Amino acid sequence: MRLDKIVLILFTFLLVGCQENPVCCTVIDIGFDLTVTDDQGNDLLDQNNPNSFKEEFINLYYMEEGEKVRVFNGGLDHPKNFFIYKDEQNDNYVMRVFLGGDYPIGETIIEWNKDESDTFVSEMKKLGDSGIILTKVWYQDDLVYDTKSLETASIFSLTK
C-alpha cells in the first residue's frame, strides 16, 4: 500500500513536470547606451556638472502610428525607460535608453530639456514568441549601432 502511494506521487510529478515546448524566458534587449559631452569634453550626464542635462527633466517619446507619445510606466524600475549610470572603467556617465516606437522600425525622441532633443531610429527583431532584440540604431541618418558589425560602437558618443 505504501509503495503504491509513492509510485502515484512520483507519477503525478512526472505528468505535471512534462510540458511540450515550455516558454523558458522572455528576452527583451532594446537598451542602447550613449554618452553625452559638450564641445569641450564636459560630461553632460554628470549630475554634479552645473551644465548637465538634469535627469528629472529628461523625457522620452516614442513615435507610435504617427503620434508622439510620452513614455512613463509607473510600475517599472525606470518609469521613463532610461537611466543614467557611472561607468567606472571609463570614468564617465552613460545613459541607457530603452528604445521603442512602432515595430519593427521605431523612433525614439530624447527631450533633454524644453529646447533640445535628439531622435534615434531603431530596428528591432522578434525572437519567436518570447522576446525582442535591438539590431540597428540610426542617428541623423547615420548607422551608429549594428549587431552584425564590429565598426559600430557599443556605446554611442553624442556631442552637443
Is 70 exceeded by the pLDDT of residue 2? no
Q: How far apart are CA 66 and CA 60, in angstroms?
A: 16
Please give the average per-residue pLDDT across 147-156, as a whole number. Answer: 83
Main-chain dihedrals φ then ψ at residue 3, nearest 5 degrees: -65, -35
User: How many separate helices (H) and strands (E) can be counted in the chain?
Assistant: 1, 11
Q: For position 7, what pLDDT does the model report? A: 47
Q: Where are the alpha helices (DSSP H) in the chain?
A: 2-17
Q: How confident is the model at residue 149 (pLDDT cuts 50, 70, 90)?
A: confident
d(CA 116, CA 137): 20
Distance of alpha carbon 118 from alpha carbon 67, whole angstroms: 16
User: 20-63: per-residue pLDDT in tens?
Assistant: 655 567 778 889 999 999 999 999 999 999 999 999 999 999 99
Which has more pLDDT, 3 or 72?
72
pLDDT-wise least confident of 2-11, 21-30, 113-122 = 2-11
Separation between Cα atoms, residue 32 and residue 12, nearest integer Å: 46
More confident residue, 153 or 56: 56
